[in-house]
Amino acid sequence: MLLTSLPSSFKNRRDALMKKPEESGSAFLFPAAKEVLRNPDVTYPFRQESNFQYLSGFEEPEAWLLLAPGSKGGAYRTILFVRHRDPVMEIWEGERYGTEGALKVFGVDEAYTIDEFSKRFPEFLKGVDRLFYRMNLDESDDREVLGALEKFRRSQGRSGKPLLAISDPNELIAEMRLFKSSEEIELMRRACDITAKTHLALMKEVRPGMNEYEMEAFIDYQFRKQGSPRVGYGSIVAGGKNACCLHYRANNEVLKDGDLILVDAGAEFGYYTSDITRTFPVGKEFSKTQAAIYDLVLKSQLECIAMAKPGATMAAIHRHASEVLVEGALSLGLMKGKVDEIITSGKVKQFYPHGTGHWLGMDVHDIGLYQLNGEPRKLEAGMMFTIEPGFYVQPDDLHAPAEYRGIGVRIEDDVLVTKTGLEVMTAGAPKARAEIEALKS
């Protein structure tokens, strides 16, 4: 179904980007996501590229968004290049906005069909001293853009000028996307709420003998039923030792009584994704060794959450998670040595091979700098990120006592930094061991 109007936030974001004083004289160019073939004439489901969506709200493929300086230093102009209307294709694939819809619904200043791009784009470069465009994502886009820049240079006659400078826009957009507006927070809240409810429902649903793919289907169904159009990333449904494979995606083994199941799944809502992991028994309860590892991961996660507030850093949080996990490994007899040496030498990666969190937003691993001026970046209100320590004893780790081998636990929540502290947006998914076991009894 086509939209008839769009919230003002998309234009406000373009305004904010083009108002940055250092960007006067700059043009910004963003390609839409590509349709990718999975069979000779069948495509993978389409999802718009996040920066393109963030600035335009326009969800079709084969489009360019151009923000160009206005003439004589006036306001900038927004131009969309879009697919043309095509009655035959629209019978097969659905309605398109065309240039008319682009102007009417998306509030752009000018709209052209995509086949006009190579002719018109160079014309918008007059007076531009820098083009923000992300190279190396798609070769044919790069060729098109470089061709247009060359065409523009030649159109200047013997000016002696070099090709227009190209800069990556990601850092500027990342600084905007990193700080969530109240509207974005509401979308994140919905994504987190849908996801937390699904993890809760899943804990009650799982039984020995079910297959991992049944659980993946259950997640998809719960997400869709609650209004999420798709997952934010491929769900990880990992029974037993499969949990030790960090991005396990096969999801095709039978779940066994006595094993744990690690589920890392997040719903997308309004182009914002949640990212929750819970680990719980396939059967009714945790074994003693599973409980020991689980309690250790939960302790580190709770302490990291308590640390996270304005002024703290992700680096310090990661260091703390590593310390708690290594202290635990030492006391369980899984490691030998000194905490500091195990962390600084990297030996900690034997059991804890990943980071403790990442920015979260339109992309699961959202854009945003983790360091500023060579220092870990301080957390500020409006940032969203994950806190997700884990502990994995590889099934073939012959140094570990047999009863620990193949246990993998990760506990992941999504948090919003507020002015005074932190809000855990995914608290609806239980993680206290007693609470989980009570659900399953």
Residues within the interface to ligand GLY (CB under 6 A): 233, 264, 275, 358, 364, 388, 412
- CB 97, min distance to ligand GLY, A: 33
Is 386 a binding residue for Mn ion by CB under 5 A? The answer is: yes
Q: Given CA atoms 91, 93, 94, 99 in this order, what sign does their dihedral have? A: negative
Non-local (6+) Cβ contacts of 432 within 8 A are 298
| CB of residue 174 to Mn ion, shortest distance in Å | 18
| Shortest reach from residue 294's CB to ligand GLY, in Å | 18
Instruction: State which residue, 111 or 429, has the beta carbon closest to ligand GLY.
Output: 429
DSSP-derived secondary structure letter, 197: H
Contact stretch for Mn ion (CB under 5 A) within 42-50, 125-133, 137-145, 381-389: 381-389
The letter for the amino acid at 426 is T
Nearest CA to 275 out of 182, 355, 346, 393 is that of 355
Residue with smaller CB distance to ligand GLY, 256 or 358: 358
Residue 45 is given by DSSP the state P
Among residues 48 and 277, whose Cβ is nearest to Mn ion?
277
Is 414 a binding residue for Mn ion by CB under 5 A? The answer is no
Q: CB under 5 to 8 A by kind: which of ligand GLY, Mn ion, none does 370 bind?
A: none
Window of 286-294, 302-310, 384-392, 417-425 that interacts with Mn ion by CB under 5 A: 384-392
Q: What is the DSSP letter of 12?
A: H
- Choose the one of Mn ion, ligand GLY, none that binds residue 233, judging by a C-beta under 5 to 8 angstroms depending on kind: ligand GLY
First to last CA, the chain: 45
363 binding Mn ion? (CB under 5 A)? no
Closer residue to ligand GLY (CB): 179 or 233: 233
* CA 26 to the chain's CA centroid: 28
Q: Quick one: which of 53, 50, 55 has its CA closest to 15?
A: 55
Q: Element (H or E) spanning 13, and its range? A: helix 9-19
Q: Which is nearer to Mn ion, 60 or 275 (CB)?
A: 275
Greatest alpha-carbon pair distance for the chain in Å reads: 81
d(CA 332, CA 292): 8
Cα(296)–Cα(290) distance, integer angstroms? 10
CA distance 110 to 100: 10
Smallest gap, in angstroms, from Cβ of residue 416 to ligand GLY? 17
Residue number closest to ligand GLY, CB atom: 264
Does residue number 264 form part of the binding site for Mn ion (CB under 5 A)? yes
- Residue 435 near residue 316, CB atoms below 8 Å: no
How many other CB atoms sit within 10 Å of the CB of residue 422? 19
- Given ligand GLY, Mn ion, none, residue 394, with its beta carbon under 5 to 8 Å by kind, binds none
Binding region for Mn ion (CB under 5 A) out of 17-25, 256-264, 308-316, 340-348: 256-264
* Minimum gap (Å) between residue 390 Cβ and ligand GLY: 9
Residue 366 Cβ, how far from ligand GLY at the closest point, in Å?
11
Alpha helices in 127-277 (DSSP H): 139-155, 170-178, 182-205, 212-225
Which CB atom, from 49 or from 414, has the smaller least distance to ligand GLY? 414
Residues 331/334/339/341 CA torsion (nearest 10 deg): 160
C-beta closer to ligand GLY: residue 29 or 276: 276
Which candidate, 110, 120, 118, places its Cα nearest to that of 77? 110
- The size of the chain, in residues, is 441
DSSP-derived pairing of the beta strands 236-239 and 272-273: unpaired
Asked if 23 interacts with Mn ion (CB under 5 A), we say: no
Residue (161 or 247) nearer to ligand GLY, CB:
247
CB of 267 to Mn ion, least distance (A): 12
The DSSP call for residue 60 is: -
Active-site residue list: 41, 247, 264, 275, 354, 358, 365, 388, 392, 410, 412
Least gap, CB of 336 to ligand GLY (angstroms): 30
Q: Which two tokens stand for residue 383?
A: 């940032």
Residue 150 to residue 154: CA distance in whole angstroms: 6
Which stretches of the chain bind Mn ion, using CB under 5 A? 264, 275, 277, 386, 412
